Amino acid sequence: MIPAAFDYHKATSVAEAVGLLKEHGMDAKILAGGHSLIPAMKLRLNQPELLIDISGIADLKGIKDEGRKLVIGAACTHGAIASSAEVNKDAPILAITAKTIGDIQIRNKGTIGGSIAHADPAADWPAALIAADATIEVLGGGGSRTIAATDFFTGIYDTALEEDEVIIAIHVPKVSSTFTSAYAKFFQPASRFAIVGCAVVMEMKDNYCVSARVAFTGVSDMAFFDEKVSSALAGKSLNDETIAAAAAQAAQGVDTLGDHFASEEYREHLAKVYAERAIREAIA
């Protein structure tokens, strides 16, 4: 488990990191928590010549309340997000999801920016960010832009990020107490990533679902917003029947993954089961 030789640079500012990325192009990689990149390098699946470490850049680590939204620095760890009072109050789906990622060591090192940049199809964050209707702020040679979470994930380990772009922050709309959230995850027994992860954020008036955002990870090449389930919930009084009817629509029309642990058929089934579990948990 020895990576190929590489140079290491500890960046002190975002501008410096972006500059280095631009200068070295394909040969450089951002290093955040290292919990996806380093294993890949040790297996020599990835052999960058330069690592630009962003974990020391203070600007990337805060969680800021900007009134209608929370702005979470890309280098915030899963653990910091899970235990943040602001996140637990104003964007609880993120805190709930963070707690299911890996174990304590992983959560103390791995970052939200690293996870979404890596875009593992079985990672947990993507479902939560889509359900939360988050946007991703990036900075690159071409300047700064924001990308909706729904548009960010484009394939297995593939995102809308340009080669010289760095993720700066995740902008998450704050939700009021009329909202309810849940993340239901069927763990892959070895890696404990998600075989199916379903994130649900709903605005409720008693039993009545005003609006719903349901998103899946693990089911296919990339996390996705489940339009059908979401609209089947919105405008309905939630009861056994309406919940089951909504869940039955889960993951329709997507190309389902199949692997050693879960065939396509089983994943499709699990998507329905976990949609139902997430919805029920959200209103429990």
Partner 1 sequence: MTKMIGKSVKRVEDKRFITGKGQYTDDIILPNMTYAQFVRSPYAHAKVLGVDTSEALAHPGVVAVYTGADFAEINGVPCGWQVDFKNGDTMKEPKHPLIVVDKARHAGDAVAIVIAESREAARDAADLVDVDYEELEAVVDPKKAAEEGAPLVHDDVPNNICFDWELGNPKEEVDAAIAAASHVTTLEFANQRVAPNAIEPRSYIGDYDSTNDKYTLYTSTQNPHLIRLLMCAFVLGIPEHKVRIVSKDVGGGFGSKIFHYTEEALVTYISKQLGRPVKWTAERSEAFLTDAHGRDHVSKAEMGFDAEGKITGLRIKTYASMGGYLSTFAPAVPTYLHGTLLQGVYTTPKIHIDVVATFTHTSAVDAYRGAGRPEATYLLERLMDTAALEMEMDPAELRFKNFIPAFNGIDEPGYATNVALQYDSGNYAPVLERALEMTGYKDFRKEQAEARANGKLLGIGFSTYIEACGIAPSAVVGALGARAGLFEVSQVRVHPTGKVSVFTGAHSHGQGHETTFAQVVADKFGIPMEDVDIVHGDSDTVAFGMGTYGSRSLAVGGSALVKSIEKIIDKGTKIAAHKLEAAEEDLEFAEGKWTVKGTDKSIGFADISLTAYVPHDYPAGLEPGLDFSSFYDPANFTYPFGAHIAIVEVDKDTGKVSLKRFIAVDDVGNVINPMIVDGQIHGGVVQGIGQALLEHAFYDEDGQLVTGSYMDYAMPRADDVPMIETDRTTTPCPHNPLGVKGAGEAGAIGSTPAVVNAVMDALAPYGIKNLSMPLTSESVWRAMKG
Residues from 185 through 214 that contact partner 1 (CB under 8 A): 186, 189-191
DSSP string for residues in 71-91:
EEETT-BHHHHHT-HHHHHH-
DSSP string for residues in 209-275:
EEEEEEEEESSBSS-EE-HHHHHHHTTEE--HHHHHHHHTTTTTTS-B---SS--HHHHHHHHHHHH
Residues that bind ligand FAD (CB under 6 A): 29-37, 39, 54, 74, 101-102, 106, 110-111, 113-115, 117-118, 123-125, 166-167, 192-193
156 makes contact with partner 1 (CB under 8 A)? no
Given partner 1, ligand FAD, none, residue 101, with its beta carbon under 5 to 8 Å by kind, binds ligand FAD
Nearer to partner 1, 2 or 284 (CB): 2
Given partner 1, ligand FAD, none, residue 270, with its beta carbon under 5 to 8 Å by kind, binds partner 1
Torsion over CA of 9, 14, 16 and 19, rounded to 10 degrees?
A: 110
How many C-beta atoms lie closer than 10 Å to residue 42's C-beta? 13
Question: Which region, left, alpha or beta, applies to residue 119 given φ > 0 means left and ψ of -120 to 50 means alpha?
Answer: left
Give the one residue of 52, 270, 278, 279 binding partner 1; rule: CB under 8 A: 270
Give the one residue of 82, 262, 271, 278 binding partner 1; rule: CB under 8 A: 262
Given partner 1, ligand FAD, none, residue 262, with its beta carbon under 5 to 8 Å by kind, binds partner 1
Give the one residue of 160, 273, 280, 283 binding partner 1; rule: CB under 8 A: 273
The binding track of 21-60 with respect to partner 1, each residue x by CB under 8 A or -, is: ----------------------xx----------------
Stretch of 50-58, 214-222, 237-245, 263-271 contacting partner 1, by CB under 8 A: 263-271
Give the one residue of 86, 266, 280, 281 binding partner 1; rule: CB under 8 A: 266
Q: How far apart are CA 83 and CA 87, in angstroms?
A: 8
Q: How many residues bind partner 1 (CB under 8 A)?
A: 18
Q: Decide if 2 contacts 23 (C-beta within 8 A).
A: no
Strands annotated E in 61-178: 63-65, 69-73, 135-140, 143-148, 153-155, 158-159, 166-173
* Buried-exposed string 128-152: b where 16+ CB fall within 10 A, e elsewhere: bbbbbbbbbbbbbeeeeeebebbeb
Shortest Å, Cβ 263 to partner 1: 7
What residue ranges bind partner 1 (CB under 8 A)?
A: 1-2, 4-5, 43-44, 186, 189-191, 260-263, 266, 269-270, 273
